[in-house]
Structure 1
């Protein structure tokens, strides 16, 4: 018999600290998934992009196919942008179908630095971002 997981109120004392207060998930208005690639994986990245567009094209925005470094990204990339309400449809599919491509996933909450530095998720291998590109 499985019992529901219950957490004692004191189990996460850091959430009671003003500097570590739990964030309201309704602050997430959209998500960006950045698909990383290089010269060797370029064709796979393009093919994956086409499959993503065929499957989700009506509910996503595909960004430019950058064969150069842009923003904080340490690899060539393109962006898949989608509304927060589509997370449950899109992210599990990306997790299961990304193949050898690495994906950097972050929310958009109007705090660009925190979204990229503290709230990101990696599908596949993780990379070190150039966070200086977000300072402005």
Structure 2
């Protein structure tokens, strides 16, 4: 099971990354997460948004869902890469110090967070 970042937060985001070949897979994963867990499912962005270097869909969830949702994402991501990070109010730290990856990590556009 993935370890929670050192600094525990009350809320988190998971950004599911995909491309044109895996958009349907990502959409299905996010929709299923929305049915199974108390998460807010964001739009499926078929373009790069914010600091994210790939197309993505955001899942927003509370710390209460962390221990159930994150292991489920790891088990069901089927090769998709997912950035998980806490929400501290400092977007730069959230996407660096308070972040970790399920799958491959991608370099973020940190200038978009400054």
Does the pair score TM above 0.5? yes
Distance in 2 between residues matched to 1:118 and 1:53, nearest whole Å: 27
RMSD value over aligned CA atoms?
1.2
Larger Rg: 1
Stretches of structure 2 lacking an aligned partner (at least 5 in a row): 1-5
1:97–1:133 Cα change, 3 Å: same
Task: Provide the secondary structure at the position in 2 that maps to 1:92.
Answer: helix
TM (norm. structure 1) is: 0.76
Q: Which has the higher contact order (CA 8 A, sep 6+)?
A: 2
Q: Does 1:123 align with 2:71?
A: no
State the number of aligned residues.
109
Q: Which residue in the other structure is 1:104 paired with?
A: 83
Distance in 2 between residues matched to 1:66 and 1:36, nearest whole Å: 10
Once the two structures are superposed, what CA deviation does each residue of 1:96-129 show, in whole Å capped at 9, x if it has no partner?
1111111000000112111101221100111000
Aligned-residue offset at 1:29: 1.9
Stretches of structure 1 lacking an aligned partner (at least 5 in a row): 1-22
Extract structure 1 runs of 4+ deviating beyond 3 A.
Answer: none
- Identify which of 21, 27, 34 aligns with 1:46: 27
- Identify which of 11, 14, 37 aligns with 2:18: 37
Task: Provide the secondary structure at the position in 2 that maps to 1:73.
Answer: coil
- Identify which of 69, 73, 88 aligns with 1:90: 69
* Structure ranking higher in helix proportion: 1
Task: Provide the secondary structure at the position in 2 that maps to 1:39.
Answer: coil
